[in-house]
């Protein structure tokens, strides 16, 4: 286990904000996960599990606790279509590995920044696929009981950008590895709107996993900032899912929403654009002119700058449309310290 002290959270997260974390532990074997929690307990410090930091924000006061990062690597073929992926693998390498075997199931999830261990946490999804469609189980360390367990697909209670791991049992499990079951074949038309449009405009015929990966990579490169190049957490707000009754009202007002098996999705990007934020710079935070759901840290000095930009957008959308936008990235927050209480104990 690698033990690092006083590491800036801004250097560990793609939005590049956040003060120092007291300890950052990088674990390279399942046994080291228990050691890492033991280390935190020994000092009475809280823990936060971090991956690549593409969906996590740091606060200016840093974190008086222990950040634990999964550095376990390797992909094991369980059979021709089923793979156990160690959580420290970079997610896009997993997609590349799958498409090189001509397997379908995750090709539309190409280029999503992050580690494999974080993929089930918010049930990553894009262009008509989501990890919950292919994930069969995950191996975890249960920090509450100090035991190693396997959680099945059903245990994880997947929904849109949600799972057990970021809702009812948030902060409890450390994901060690994920198991995915893919398929031979290819995605079937009709595909996600923007992919269909791209195929038509470019007269393409290759819908193989490699072909879709190429298309998705191009669409994403044209629209989304590369976190290596521009500081961002990707989509900053969730899209809004309307009940059937709410959807009827929205339809009456000509709000563009999309009915699918997932539900009635109202585009938060559209709401933000309608409020005039597209391309605007707010407190050093740029609302992307290509994808207004994406906030880019151009020159923000602190988390407070980001929070002010975020709150202005949320208020404007609420005042005009009556919908509350919900933030997608999670925040690393110091637990409150009561007078006389030792700074520790609380976990995530
Ligand atoms: C430019 C850009 C584009 C993006 N596009 C998409 C997209 O198309 N679709 C999409 O769904 N997301 C997208 N995202 C969000 C992000 O890429 C995903 O949420 C990704 O899964 C985050 O992985 P990470 O390793 O960076 O997780 P982190 O940000 O490090 O962590 C995210 C959450 O997972 C938890 N976590 C991390 N590792 C573990 C572990 N080992 N065990 C338990 N919990 C853990 C953390 O505590 C935190 O709650 C995008 C982000 C960016 C910057």
pLDDT single digits (tens) 214-264: 999 999 999 999 999 999 999 999 999 999 999 999 888 989 888 877 789
Among protein residues, the one whose CA lies closest to atom 27 of ligand 1: 51
What atom in ligand 1 is closest to the CA of residue 113? 17
Q: How far is the CA of 124 from the centre of ligand 1 (A)?
A: 8
Instruction: Kindly list the protein residues whose Cβ atom lies closer than 6 A to any atom of ligand 1.
Output: 14, 49-56, 70, 87, 112-115, 117-119, 121-122, 124-126, 165-166, 173-175, 224-225, 227, 232-234, 330
Please tell me the predicted confidence (pLDDT) of residue 171: 95
CB contact burial 102-118 (16+ within 10 A = b; e otherwise): ebbbbbbbbbbbbbbbb
Instruction: Give the closest residue to 118 by CA, choosing from 70, 152, 159.
Output: 70
Q: Which atom of ligand 1 is nearest to the CA of 166?
A: 49
φ, ψ (nearest 5 deg) of residue 244: -60, -40
Q: Looking at residue 339, what is its pLDDT?
A: 57
How far is the centre of ligand 1, averaged over its atoms, from the C-alpha of 245 (Å)? 32
Note the pLDDT tens digit of each residue in 282-305: 999 999 999 999 999 999 989 999
pLDDT at residue number 260 = 76
pLDDT, tens only, 107-149: 999 999 999 999 999 999 999 999 999 999 999 999 999 999 9
Residue at which a domain ends, from 45, 70, 95? 70
Find where tokens 């999309």 sit.
258
CATH code at position 60: 3.30.43.10
pLDDT at 342 over 60: no
- CATH number assigned to the domain comprising residue 88: 3.30.465.10
Q: Is the pLDDT of residue 174 over 50?
A: yes
Residue 303 exposure: Cα atoms within 13 Å on the Cβ side = 18
In sign, the C-alpha dihedral spanning 122, 323, 268, 59 is: negative
pLDDT at 335: 85
pLDDT number for residue 297: 98
Ligand 1, atom 34: nearest CA belongs to which residue? 118
Which are the catalytic amino acids? Answer: 161, 235, 328
Ligand 1, atom 14, lies closest to the CA of: 234
Number of helical (H) and strand (E) elements in the chain, helices listed first: 7, 22
Segment 161-182 mean pLDDT:
97
Q: What is the pLDDT of residue 344?
A: 45
Last residue of a domain, one of 70, 100, 129: 70
63 and 151 belong to one structural domain: no
Domain extent, residue 128, equals 75-184
Q: How many domains does the chain have?
A: 3
Residue 205 has a pLDDT of 84
Q: State the average pLDDT for the chain.
A: 94
Residue 275 lies in a domain: yes
Helix locations, 224-302, DSSP H: 244-252, 268-274
Q: Is residue 227 part of a domain?
A: no
> Are 84 and 105 members of one domain?
yes
């Amino acid at each position: 286990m690698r033990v690092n002290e006083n590491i800036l959270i801004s250097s560990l997260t793609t939005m590049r904000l956040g003060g120092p974390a007291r300890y950052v532990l990088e674990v390279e074997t399942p046994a080291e996960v228990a050691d890492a929690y033991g280390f935190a307990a020994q000092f009475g410090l809280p823990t936060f599990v971090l991956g690549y930091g593409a969906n996590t924000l740091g606060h200016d006061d840093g974190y008086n606790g222990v950040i634990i990062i999964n550095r376990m690597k390797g992909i094991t073929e369980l059979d021709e279509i089923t793979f156990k992926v160690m959580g420290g693998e970079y997610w896009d390498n997993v997609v590349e590995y799958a498409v090189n075997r001509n397997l379908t199931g995750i090709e539309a999830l190409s280029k999503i920044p992050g580690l494999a261990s974080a993929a089930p946490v918010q049930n990553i999804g894009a262009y008509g696929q989501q990890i919950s469609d292919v994930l069969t189980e995950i191996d975890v360390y249960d920090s509450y009981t100090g035991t190693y367990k396997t959680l099945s697909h059903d245990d994880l209670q997947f929904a849109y950008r949600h799972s057990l791991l970021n809702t009812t049992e948030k902060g409890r499990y450390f994901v060690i590895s994920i198991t995915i079951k893919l398929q031979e074949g290819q995605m079937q038309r009709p595909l996600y709107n923007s992919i269909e449009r791209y195929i038509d405009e470019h007269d393409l015929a290759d819908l193989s996993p490699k072909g879709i990966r190429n298309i998705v990579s191009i669409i994403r490169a044209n629209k989304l900032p590369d976190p290596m190049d521009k500081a961002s957490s990707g989509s900053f707000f969730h899209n809004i899912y309307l009940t059937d009754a709410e959807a009827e009202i929205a339809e009456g007002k000509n709000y563009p929403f999309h009915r699918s098996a997932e539900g009635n999705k109202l585009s938060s990007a559209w709401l933000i654009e309608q409020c005039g934020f597209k391309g605007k710079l707010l407190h050093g935070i740029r609302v992307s002119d290509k994808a207004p759901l994406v906030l880019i840290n151009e020159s923000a000095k602190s988390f407070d700058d980001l929070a002010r930009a975020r709150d202005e957008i949320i208020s404007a959308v609420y005042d005009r449309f009556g919908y509350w936008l919900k933030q997608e990235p999670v925040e690393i927050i110091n637990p409150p310290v009561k007078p006389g209480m030792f700074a520790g104990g609380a976990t995530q």
